[in-house]
Amino acid sequence: MLETVGLAVVLFLIINTLSARVRVDGFSMLPTLHDGEFVLVNKLAYHTGTPARGDIIVFQSTTTKNLDLIKRVIGLPGDHIVIGDGRVSVNGKTLTEPYIAAEPDYSGLWDVPKDTLFVLGDNRNDSSDSHAWGFLPIKNVVGKALLIYWPPKEWAAVDHIQIVVTAP
């Protein structure tokens, strides 16, 4: 029995080192992710690589302690972001965004500093994200969302749409 408990503890520690499980609370990522879904997160994804435009990431909030959020990466360090007339542009290229709930009804422009990301929710008009609170320090990133595993009828890989733009 002691061996079984010991093995269970070791497996638990390994699994929690490599992954996280996050509950989606709210509607900021509709239609991609829904309120109440549980997502498996790869915590090692960015230890060997860096976030890419289009990745859906989990990160520690910059405004609320002990709160993890989930958003889509839109801008990388050095990118110039323009939002206006219902469009998002990165480095002068308008993004094709089939994953959003509706075009953004706000505007602004941002230059993404070193060691930060610009993230937006897919439900652009109902999301607290970089357009509202600023840039996300890369050090706050927990990992890359991989899989919706609950509820069972929603089981699916998380859709990371590659966003390709030219360098500034």
**Residues marked as catalytic:** 28, 71
**Residues 110, 143 contacting (CB under 8 angstroms):** no
Phi, psi of 33 (to 5 degrees): -125, 145
Token pair in block for residue 50: 């860096």
Q: Is 165 helix (H, G, I), strand (E, B) or coil?
A: coil
Neighbours of 82 (CB within 10 A): 16
Place of tokens 């595993």: 149
